[in-house]
C-alpha cells in the first residue's frame, strides 16, 4: 500500500509489521520492515539531494546566460562571465532545458512519495541492463558461452541482492534471539519462521543449526564480553559468489539507547597535542602539533589511491589510511585529530560552469570529485570515537595559500627527516593551528617587543613623549574634521603562555584605523593594563 510523502513517524510501520507477523514471526517482521523503511528514507534523502543539485546547476547556467558571450559583469563581490561564444551558449541552453525537465520529474516523484530503490545498487542494475557489454570473455560469444555467462550472472544477481539480518535484543540469550552464536564453540542457531519450521527445523523450538561455526578475528574479545552479559548484538549474513563463501558480521552500539556521548570541550582538547590532517585526492598529509601550535617531529604522507577502484576496495583503503592516522595520534598522545570541514557538493554540481572548460577544467573537476570528503569525515568520526579520540573540523579557507606563505619555507629549513616537506604539509600545519585556536601566521624570529625595546625604538624614530612636551611644543587641539575620541580597537598580540590579552586604547577617527608607525606600542600581556599610544590626545588640552 502506498502511503505517500509522509514523515518517518507517520509511515505506519507498526501496521505493516503486524501484517507480516502473521506470515512469519514478530522478530522477522521487525527486521523486514526496519530495513525497508531505512531504504525508503535513504531514497528520499537522495531524491532531495538531487533536487537541490539540479536547482544549483540551473541557477549557475541561468546566471551565465544572462551575460552576453565573451563579456563579464560584476555582481556584488564576484564577477560572472558569459560563455565563450554563441555555439557554447546554444549548447548550454539545450542543457538547461534538459536539467529543467529532470527537475520537474524529480519534484513530481517527491510530491507523490515515489523513490527509486535498487537492491544491490545502481551499478548492478545498469550491468543487468547491458549484459553483453559487461561480459569479460572474448566476443562474439557462442551460445554455450552466453548461457554460462547468464548462469554466473544470475548467481551474482541473487547473491548481491540477498541478505539476512536480525536486530539484537537486550536480555536475550547471547544478545540475539533470532540469530544466536555460542561464544564457546561458535555454533550458529537461527530461529525459523513458522511456515518453515516443519520442513527445515533440526533443533528444538523451531530452530536451525548451521554446519559452520563463527570465528571473530577482529574484536572477538569485545564480542564475547557483550554476548556473555546478554548485551544486544546485531548479525548480518551475506554470500560472496566469487569466493563462494558466507560471511557473518556482528555489530553493536557502544552507547546505550537514550544516552548521549560526552563530548570534551575545546579547551580540554587544546591542552594536548593534536594531529593535523590535510586531505588530498591521492594522499593524506599529516603533522603533529603541540598545544602551542608548533610542528613536532617529521611530517607524514599516507597514500590514498582510490581512482577507478570498486566501492568496497575504496572503502577498505580509506579505512586503512584512517587506521594509520589513529595509530599515529595514539603514539604521540594526541587528544584529537584536526581536519578541514570540506564539502564539495556545490562544486560537483556547478563545477562545469565555474571550474574552467576544456581538458584542463575537466582534469581539475575530476580531481576535486575524487577527494573523499564526506566519506572520510564520517569514517574518521566513527573510528576515532571507538579509539577514544575527538575530531575537530575547521574552516578550510586559504589553508594552502597561508601555509605556503608563512610555513613552507621555515619547515623546509628545519626539517631533518626523510620525508620531503610539501605545501600540503604546510597546509596541515595551518589546519592544526586553527583547531588549537592559534592564528595561521607564523611569529617572526627574534624577541617580542618589550617596554625597553619599544622605548629605544621610539627614541631612534624621533618620537616625542607627552611628559617631555612643554610650551610651544605641546600639540595643538585637533580640528573639528578629526574629532578626538577614545575607542577600543583590536586586541594586541599576546604571548603563548597566557590567555589574557592587552587592549590598546587608541584615538582614531570613526571608520578608520590609525596608521602603523613608531607611535604604536605592543607590550607584554599584563592583566588589567591599558596601553596608550604616545603622541595622541588622551590628556587634557591646554586652555585657550
Least confident of 48-57, 58-67, 123-132: 123-132
Q: What is the pLDDT of residue 4?
A: 62
The helices-and-strands tally (H runs, E runs) of the chain is: 17, 16
Least confident of 21-25, 178-182, 296-300: 21-25
Residue that the C-alpha cell 539484537 belongs to: 168
Q: What is the pLDDT of residue 79?
A: 85
Q: With a cut of 60, say whether residue 500 has pLDDT above it.
A: no
Q: What is the pLDDT of residue 325?
A: 94
Q: With a cut of 70, say whether residue 323 has pLDDT above it.
A: yes
Residues 6 or more apart in contact with residue 381 via CB below 8 angstroms:
391
Which string of b and e fits 430-458 if b means at least 16 CB within 10 Å?
bbbbbbbebebebeeeeeebeeeebeeeb
Cα dihedral across residues 324, 327, 328, 334: positive or negative: positive
Rounded to whole angstroms, the Cα distance separating 480 from 477 reads 9
* Short-list 440, 381, 392, CA closest to 267: 392
Q: With a cut of 90, say whether residue 118 has pLDDT above it.
A: no
Rounded to whole angstroms, the Cα distance separating 30 from 173 reads 18
Phi, psi of 346 (to 5 degrees): -70, -35
Q: What is the pLDDT of residue 8?
A: 66
Q: What is the pLDDT of residue 436?
A: 92
State the average pLDDT over residues 402-419: 84
* Short-list 287, 265, 261, 262, CA closest to 276: 287
517 pLDDT tier (thresholds 50, 70, 90): very low
72 pLDDT tier (thresholds 50, 70, 90): confident
Q: What is the pLDDT of residue 443?
A: 67
Residues 6 or more apart in contact with residue 76 via CB below 8 angstroms:
none
For residues 410 and 442, is the Cβ–Cβ distance under 8 A?
yes
Of residues 414 and 400, the one with the higher pLDDT is 400
State the average pLDDT over residues 501-513: 37
State the average pLDDT over residues 54-70: 91
Q: What is the three-class DSSP state of 337?
A: strand
Q: What is the three-class DSSP state of 221?
A: helix
Rounded to whole angstroms, the Cα distance separating 93 from 65 reads 8
How much of the chain exceeds pLDDT 90, in percent?
21
Q: With a cut of 70, say whether residue 224 has pLDDT above it.
A: yes
Q: With a cut of 80, say whether residue 445 has pLDDT above it.
A: no
455: preceding bond cis by omega (within 30 degrees) = no
Of residues 89 and 354, the one with the higher pLDDT is 89
Q: What is the pLDDT of residue 512?
A: 40
Which tens digits make up the pLDDT trace of 144-159? Answer: 888 888 888 888 888 8
Using alpha carbons only, what angle is made at residue 13 by residues 8 and 17, rounded to the nearest 5 degrees? 160
Residue that the C-alpha cell 627574534 belongs to: 446
State the average pLDDT over residues 67-93: 88
Q: With a cut of 80, say whether residue 296 has pLDDT above it.
A: yes
Q: What is the three-class DSSP state of 74?
A: strand
Least confident of 253-257, 332-336, 535-539: 535-539
Q: With a cut of 80, say whether residue 178 has pLDDT above it.
A: yes
Which tens digits make up the pLDDT trace of 95-109? Answer: 999 999 999 999 998
Residues 6 or more apart in contact with residue 3 via CB below 8 angstroms:
10, 11, 12, 113
354 pLDDT tier (thresholds 50, 70, 90): confident
Which tens digits make up the pLDDT trace of 265-287? Answer: 888 999 999 999 998 888 899 99
Query: Judging by beta carbons within 10 Å of its beta carbon (0-12, 13-18, 19+), is residue 54 exposed, middle or buried?
Result: buried
The separation between the first and the last C-alpha atoms of the chain, rounded to the nearest angstrom, is: 93
Least confident of 105-114, 366-375, 469-478: 469-478
* Short-list 392, 388, 383, 378, CA closest to 323: 383
Least confident of 231-245, 329-343, 466-480: 466-480
Average pLDDT, the chain: 77
Amino acid at each position: 500500500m502506498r502511503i505517500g510523502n509522509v514523515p518517518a513517524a507517520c509511515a505506519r510501520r507498526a501496521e505493516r509489521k503486524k501484517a507480516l507477523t502473521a506470515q512469519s514471526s514478530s522478530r522477522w517482521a521487525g527486521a523486514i520492515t526496519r530495513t525497508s523503511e531505512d531504504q525508503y528514507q535513504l531514497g528520499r534523502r537522495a531524491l532531495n539531494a538531487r533536487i537541490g543539485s539540479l536547482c544549483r546547476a540551473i541557477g549557475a547556467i541561468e546566471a551565465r546566460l544572462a551575460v552576453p558571450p565573451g563579456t563579464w559583469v560584476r555582481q556584488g563581490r564576484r564577477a560572472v562571465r558569459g560563455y565563450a561564444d554563441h555555439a557554447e551558449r546554444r549548447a548550454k541552453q539545450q542543457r538547461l532545458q534538459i536539467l529543467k525537465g529532470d527537475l520537474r520529474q524529480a519534484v513530481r516523484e517527491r510530491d507523490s512519495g515515489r523513490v527509486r530503490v535498487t537492491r544491490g545498487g545502481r551499478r548492478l542494475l545498469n550491468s543487468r541492463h547491458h549484459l553483453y557489454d559487461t561480459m569479460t570473455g572474448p566476443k562474439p560469444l557462442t551460445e554455450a558461452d552466453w548461457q554460462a555467462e547468464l548462469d554466473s550472472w544470475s548467481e551474482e544477481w541473487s547473491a548481491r541482492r540477498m541478505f539476512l539480518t536480525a536486530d539484537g535484543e537486550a536480555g536475550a540469550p547471547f544478545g540475539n534471539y533470532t540469530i544466536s552464536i555460542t561464544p564457546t564453540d561458535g555454533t550458529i542457531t537461527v530461529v525459523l519462521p513458522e511456515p518453515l519450521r516443519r520442513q527445515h527445523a533440526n533443533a528444538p523450538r523451531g530452530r536451525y543449526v548451521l554446519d559452520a561455526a563463527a570465528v571473530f578475528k577482529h574484536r572477538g574479545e569485545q564480542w564475547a564480553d557483550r554476548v556473555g552479559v546478554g548485551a544486544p548484538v546485531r548479525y548480518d549474513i551475506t554470500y560472496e559468489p566469487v569466493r563462494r563463501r558466507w560471511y557473518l558480521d556482528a555489530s553493536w552500539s557502544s552507547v546505550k539507547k537514550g544516552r548521549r556521548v560526552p563530548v570534551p570541550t575545546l579547551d580540554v582538547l587544546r591542552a594536548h597535542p593534536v594531529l593535523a590532517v590535510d586531505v588530498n585526492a591521492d594522499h593524506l598529509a599529516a603533522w603533529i602539533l603541540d598545544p602551542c601550535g608548533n610542528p613536532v617531529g617529521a611530517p607524514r604522507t599516507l597514500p590514498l589511491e582510490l581512482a577507478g577502484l570498486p566501492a568496497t576496495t575504496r572503502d577498505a583503503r580509506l579505512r586503512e589510511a584512517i587506521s594509520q592516522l589513529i595509530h599515529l595520534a595514539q603514539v604521540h598522545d594526541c587528544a584529537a585529530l584536526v581536519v578541514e570541514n570540506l564539502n564539495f557538493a556545490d562544486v560537483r554540481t556547478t563545477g562545469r560552469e565555474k571550474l574552467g572548460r576544456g581538458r584542463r577544467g575537466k582534469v581539475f573537476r575530476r580531481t576535486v570529485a575524487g577527494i573523499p570528503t564526506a566519506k572520510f569525515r564520517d569514517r574518521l568520526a566513527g573510528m576515532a570515537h571507538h579509539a577514544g579520540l575527538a575530531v575537530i573540523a575547521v574552516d578550510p579557507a586559504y589553508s594552502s595559500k597561508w601555509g605556503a606563505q608563512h610555513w613552507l619555507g621555515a619547515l623546509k629549513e628545519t626539517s631533518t627527516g626523510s620525508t620531503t616537506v610539501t605545501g600540503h604539509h604546510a597546509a596541515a600545519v595551518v589546519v592544526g593551528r586553527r583547531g588549537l585556536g592559534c592564528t595561521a601566521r607564523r611569529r617572526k624570529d627574534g624577541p617580542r617587543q618589550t617596554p625597553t625595546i619599544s622605548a629605544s625604538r621610539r627614541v631612534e624614530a624621533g618620537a616625542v613623549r607627552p611628559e617631555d612636551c612643554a610650551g610651544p611644543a605641546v600639540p595643538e587641539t585637533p580640528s573639528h574634521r578629526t574629532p578626538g575620541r577614545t575607542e577600543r580597537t583590536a586586541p594586541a598580540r599576546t604571548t603563548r603562555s597566557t590567555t589574557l590579552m592587552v587592549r590598546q586604547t587608541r584615538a582614531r577617527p570613526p571608520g578608520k584605523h590609525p596608521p602603523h608607525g613608531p607611535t604604536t606600542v605592543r607590550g607584554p600581556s599584563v592583566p588589567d593594563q591599558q596601553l596608550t599610544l604616545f603622541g595622541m590626545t588622551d590628556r587634557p588640552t591646554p586652555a585657550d
